[in-house]
């Protein structure tokens, strides 16, 4: 099957030398791309800026901002059977990035933010995607409630939730522990382990769901 995977953070320009971003390393998304290829799938990986080698054998599209990622996904999703959105997309961008470097002339500086497009939330309605849709939910509280809310709201078949309030798993680390929530109410825990193992289990889970 043809997989589209988003990974990493996005970078939102403040001026030509500064940006807003988050702590995502892209490790989970890159592990998923490798696992999907090992399982015999074709992979397009749409990645924000990360310090990871591009997985060999997949088509990697490097992007910077949430809007760049939106455009890349819009272009590729029609050719896709399974779309996995593991990127930590910035919810907001700078409303008016400066054309030249901002000088430290005043004691306070206010930056006006404006909402970014929700890429996963656009998959069904805006892009007309009818394949298997997987979202991620990184939560600090009410994990199940928030994850299941996103699953329904964004039209996902499955959502992968992890607790980012824990310091031993998740953002920027090599290990993770996740709970998978399915459309229809079932859930399954994938225990603590390297992201590469979690990725293999998730791809197996997705393959299993589709071949039912």
d(CA 174, CA 196): 8
Q: C-beta of 158: minimal distance to ligand C5P in Å?
A: 11
**C-alpha dihedral (150, 153, 155, 156), degrees to nearest 10:** 10
Does the protein bind ligand C5P through residue 133 (CB under 6 A)? no
Structure tokens that stand for 139 in this block: 């939560």
Q: C-beta of 122: minimal distance to ligand C5P in Å?
A: 8
Of 93, 150, 190, 199, the residue at the interface with ligand C5P (CB under 6 A) is 150
d(CA 135, CA 150): 8
Does the protein bind ligand C5P through residue 93 (CB under 6 A)? no
Q: Which is nearer to ligand C5P, 126 or 177 (CB)?
A: 126
Of 89, 178, 180, 206, the residue at the interface with ligand C5P (CB under 6 A) is 89
Contact 11, 48 (CB under 8 A): yes
Active site residue 146: no
For tokens 């591009």, the residue is 54
Of 25, 47, 65, 116, the residue at the interface with ligand C5P (CB under 6 A) is 116
Residues 22-81 interacting with ligand C5P (rule: CB under 6 A): 66
In sign, the C-alpha dihedral spanning 20, 72, 51, 189 is positive
For tokens 């997949």, the residue is 58
d(CA 10, CA 157): 24
Could you give the 3-state DSSP secondary structure of residue 85? strand
Q: C-beta of 25: minimal distance to ligand C5P in Å?
A: 14
Piece in contact with ligand C5P (CB under 6 A), picked from 43-51, 57-65, 117-125, 176-184: 117-125
Q: Just list the catalytic residues.
A: 22
Point out which residues bind ligand C5P (CB under 6 A). Answer: 6, 66, 85-87, 89, 91, 116, 118-120, 135-137, 150
């Amino acid at each position: 099957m043809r997989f589209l995977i988003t990974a990493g953070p996005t970078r939102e320009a403040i001026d030509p030398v500064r940006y807003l971003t988050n702590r995502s390393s892209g490790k989970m998304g890159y592990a998923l791309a490798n696992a999907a290829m090992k399982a015999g799938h074709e992979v397009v990986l749409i990645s924000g800026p990360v310090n990871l080698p591009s997985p060999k054998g997949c088509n990697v599209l490097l992007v910077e901002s949430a809007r760049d990622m939106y455009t890349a996904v819009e272009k590729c999703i029609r050719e896709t059977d399974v779309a996995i959105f593991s990127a930590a997309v910035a919810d907001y961008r700078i409303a008016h990035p400066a054309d030249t470097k901002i000088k430290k002339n005043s004691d306070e500086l206010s930056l006006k933010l404006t909402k970014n497009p929700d890429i996963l939330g656009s998959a069904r309605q805006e892009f007309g995607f009818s394949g298997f849709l997987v979202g991620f939910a990184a939560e600090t509280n009410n994990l199940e409630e928030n994850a299941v809310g996103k699953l329904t709201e964004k039209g996902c078949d499955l959502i992968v939730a992890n607790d980012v309030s824990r310091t031993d798993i998740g953002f920027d680390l090599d290990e993770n522990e996740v709970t998978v929530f399915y459309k229809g109410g079932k859930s399954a825990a994938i225990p603590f382990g390297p992201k590469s193992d979690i990725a293999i289990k998730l791809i197996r889970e997705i393959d299993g769901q589709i071949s039912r």
